[in-house]
Amino acid sequence: MRDFTLTAYHALLDSLQAAKYQFQTFSGFLKNPAVRTIMLRHDVDDRKLHSLEFAKIQHARGIVGTYYFRMVPESFDEGVIREIRDMGHEIGYHYEDMDFANGDPHQAVKLFEKHLDRLRKLAPVTTICMHGSPRSKYDNKDVWKHYDYRQYGIIGEPYFDIDFKKVFYLTDTGRMWDGHKVSVRDKVEDHFGLSFHSTPDVIDYIGKGNFPGKVMFNFHP
């Protein structure tokens, strides 16, 4: 099986559904975490139509995911966002306002507010997630050293509001499941001692029944 194709993706969802996981949006998880839960998180960095395809596949299976959109045209698209929203998925803001503001947190928070409003015209937004460009000298999370996103009606940011001792995190950075080892920003501390390279590796492990109970997958479709 060629990896990181739709075939591999379907096989992964098959194995998770066969293992009787519940699928939750990030906000749904924060409000009421299930015992065995999968969060399918999508950072829509670009190629927004790929994300739309993922959303349709999930919808056809009766499962939901969370989609984080940037303000750039490769990501932000009113039609795509509405369509994904209408399928019952969660829409969130993939913020990079420290980059937009050249590292000035006061300017960044003003932009954050404006961009959040723009997205909220299309969908209710209660969670956000930072965009981490490897080329940027700024860490977009740093705006929250000066401000509190809860003031904007935001209930969660994965990097701050998930206990990664309890939630296993897998990201497809670099088209592998262990690329976080070389990524600068998309990193969480490992508490599970588990490492997977390919999708078939992950599927094998799910099939054996040893996969953790709470998992966040991060896709860059």
Residues of this chain that bind Zn ion (CB under 5 A): 43, 45, 131
Choice between 43 and 157, CB closer to Zn ion: 43
Cβ proximity to Zn ion, 108 vs 203, nearer residue: 108
C-alpha neighbours within 13 Å on the C-beta side of residue 58: 28
Q: Which residues lie closer than 8 Å to 163 by C-beta, 6 or more apart?
A: none
| Residue of minimal Cβ distance to Zn ion | 131
Q: Which is nearer to Zn ion, 89 or 220 (CB)?
A: 220
8 near 57, Cβ under 8 Å?
no
CB of 48 to Zn ion, least distance (A): 12
Minimum distance of Zn ion from residue 129's CB (angstroms): 8
In terms of Cβ atoms closer than 10 Å to its own Cβ (0-12, 13-18, 19+), residue 58 is buried
Give the closest residue to 26 by CA, choosing from 61, 59, 55, 66. 66
Residue closer to Zn ion (CB basis): 43 or 89: 43
CB of 40 to Zn ion, least distance (A): 15
Token pair in block for residue 97: 């306002």
What is the crossing angle of helices 6-18 and 48-61, to 10°? 30
For the bound state, the minimum distance from the C-beta of residue 43 to Zn ion, rounded and expressed in Å, comes to 4
Find the shortest distance in angstroms from Cβ 4 to Zn ion: 17
Beta strands in 14-118 (DSSP E): 22-23, 37-44, 66-69, 90-95
